[in-house]
Structure 1
Amino acid sequence: MKVSLIKKLLLCICVIVFYVSNLRASTVDTILTTSTAMKKQIKAVVILPDTYKSGERFPVVYLLHGYGGSYAYFTKVTPAIKALADQYKMILVCADANVSSWYLDSPVDPKWKYETYVATELVNWIDQHYSTIANRSGRAITGLSMGGHGALSLAFKHSDTFGAAGSMSGGVDIRPFPDNWLISERLGTQASFPDRWKENSVVENIYRIKANLLSLIIDCGKDDFFYNVNMELHERLLYANIPHDFIIRPGAHTSTYWANSITFQLLYFNNFFNKK
């Protein structure tokens, strides 16, 4: 009888713990934002930490998907970010930039203005609708592959908006890939417009930032096809005396690699948000 009673009590405790833990869980919203520049509405996912209703203001990390992805990528492929939002008490915004925008304001097609959308319109929308720390000390941006290129490019160009930036397997120099991922549809062909390709490669925009202006974390797998361009970016940052964390680990251009990377990136941003 005593053993049976103990088992029942343990079961009740487990049920109560499960119930309470689910009362305090991150909230995932799919929102509809407005881009005046492109004259359309664009979806995004917002993950709010479990303490969001405490009346505080929270830092925000913007997450940028890769080529062929969407705003829904991170919650589907890396669901652990919900727990990380709770752990670090930060808002996560999963932006959408169409499948092949490269987060550019296209000089070829004025309908593609995703630099303006993500760096200005989306940031303003989030600050207006959520309880955020609405300055660069409370904003970071990172992404994977095309999104890694986008995150660093936007941060370099908009360092007044973002205080920290990261890249996971980022395409940080697009010039070695003139026939890939519809980049030529955004910029025109590299043969016809080499200056555009240079101006829109992250490695050529280091001059825009000064030492200690941005907190940077760059991560790429040893077996990734973007490994060489990430090594080049690292070397150029060293030459320019720009502090940054640079991580090379075994791995390729895969969702498994990025699911691991995002844990390091969010820890890094948490340290940035909490530095004195």
Structure 2
Amino acid sequence: MKKSSIFFLLILCICTRTLASPVDTILVHSMAMNKDIKCVIITPANKPAPGTHWPVVYLLHGYSGNYAQWIQTAPQLSREATEYGILFVCPDGGYDSWYFDSPIDPSIRYETFITHELIPYIDHQYPTFGDKTHRAITGLSMGGHGALYLAIRHRDLFGAAGATSGGVDFRPFPNNWGIKKDLGDYDTHQAGWEAHTVIHAVDDLHNGELKIIFDCGIDDFFLAVNRALHQKLVEQKINHDYIERPGGHDGAYWRNSIDYQVLFFNKYFR
């Protein structure tokens, strides 16, 4: 074979392996909140063969972010969707919803939206497996809280979950990030605050029910609460992956972290 032909085949192979995936923005209607919600959808460039399906990873954005935060922060997700054959779904979670159903504001029902409206919509519109063993969820900061909180409470829907820089216990921050708008003032609603934290939700979790990975930068203001969650899971003998890396609460950290979580989920799916 001529050298030019070998070179052409090599370039073709590289291009195929790094083919970017289609990135679309869709609207999904929420009956619970009576509004349309934007979602970024990253599909593998190669359509599945007849009879085959895609696993799904839901990616939740952080406080003050939106549906586009993940693809802007980690554009390599477009390549990884094709490389691993994974469908990524990035829903808008509002400016400061924390992904729960507010007990005091009926207009904030993001737990209901994701678990009862978005997942059925995605499974109907795309060639997904449609079962928990091929569905995972993760997120950054506020989205990290949301991902673990939803996965623990809905273990029938998610088989794996993660968080990067997750606000897994926001009780030490009673006046931050609009939380009291949705849960009430901490001093008079302590029980409600505790009930909506990840570190409380794990009380109902048993080993083997959920594959878990979470990480935090050593310069992150959420480091202490992530260490506390790790320790609680150790005490409850719940297997999980916990990582601390150099870095703070910023895009550079999340852009690096998500690659390891995608590998973790891909291993779980396979």
RMSD across aligned positions (CA): 2.0
| 1:218 paired to 2:209 | no
TM-score by length of 2: 0.94
Matches within 5 A, 1:86-97: 86-97=82-93
Tell me the SS of whatever aligns to 1:263.
helix
Aligned to 1:27: 22
1:101-120 deviations in Å (ceiling 9; x for gaps): 00010111101100111122
Shift of residue 23, structure 1, vs aligned partner: 10
Aligned to 1:150: 146
Q: Which moved more, 1:137-146 or 1:17-26?
A: 17-26
Aligned to 1:262: 258
Shift of residue 13, structure 1, vs aligned partner: 4.4
After the TM superposition, list the runs of 4 or more consecutive aligned residues in structure 1 that deviate by more than 3 angstroms. 16-25
Aligned to 1:70: 66
CA distance, structure 2, for counterparts of residue 194 and residue 235 of structure 1: 23
Aligned to 1:135: 131
Q: What amino acid maps onto 2:71 in structure 1?
A: T
Equivalent residue for 1:60, pick from 56, 62, 81: 56
CA distance, structure 2, for counterparts of residue 179 and residue 234 of structure 1: 25
1:95-144 deviations in Å (ceiling 9; x for gaps): 11111000010111101100111122111110010000101001000000
Shift of residue 25, structure 1, vs aligned partner: 3.4
Q: What amino acid maps onto 1:176 in structure 2?
A: P
Structure 2 spans left out of the alignment, 5+ residues: none
Tell me the SS of whatever aligns to 1:100.
coil
Equivalent residue for 1:48, pick from 17, 23, 43: 43
TM-score by length of 1: 0.92
Aligned to 1:249: 245
| 1:159 paired to 2:147 | no
Aligned to 1:3: none
Higher Rg: 1
Q: What amino acid maps onto 1:204 in structure 2?
A: H
CA distance, structure 2, for counterparts of residue 101 and residue 235 of structure 1: 27
Would you say the 8 A contact 2:73–2:254 is kept in 1? Answer: no
CA distance, structure 1, for counterparts of residue 230 and residue 41 of structure 2: 31
Would you say the 8 A contact 2:18–2:79 is kept in 1? Answer: no
Matches within 5 A, 1:109-124: 109-124=105-120
Q: What amino acid maps onto 2:206 in structure 1?
A: K
| 1:107 paired to 2:109 | no
Shift of residue 19, structure 1, vs aligned partner: 11
- Paired residue total: 266
Q: What amino acid maps onto 1:39 in structure 2?
A: N
Q: What amino acid maps onto 1:28 in structure 2?
A: V
CA distance, structure 2, for counterparts of residue 142 and residue 19 of structure 1: 29
Q: What amino acid maps onto 2:149 in structure 1?
A: S
Shift of residue 52, structure 1, vs aligned partner: 2.4
1:60-105 deviations in Å (ceiling 9; x for gaps): 0000000000001111121001111111110000111111000010
Q: What amino acid maps onto 1:30 in structure 2?
A: T
Structure 1 spans left out of the alignment, 5+ residues: 1-5
CA distance, structure 2, for counterparts of residue 196 and residue 107 of structure 1: 8
Q: In structure 2, do the counterparts of structure 1 residues 246 and 22 end up closer, same or farther at CA, with 3 Å as the change threshold?
A: closer
Q: In structure 2, do the counterparts of structure 1 residues 214 and 23 end up closer, same or farther at CA, with 3 Å as the change threshold?
A: closer
CA distance, structure 1, for counterparts of residue 103 and residue 47 of structure 2: 40
CA distance, structure 2, for counterparts of residue 174 and residue 149 of structure 1: 9
Shift of residue 22, structure 1, vs aligned partner: 9.9
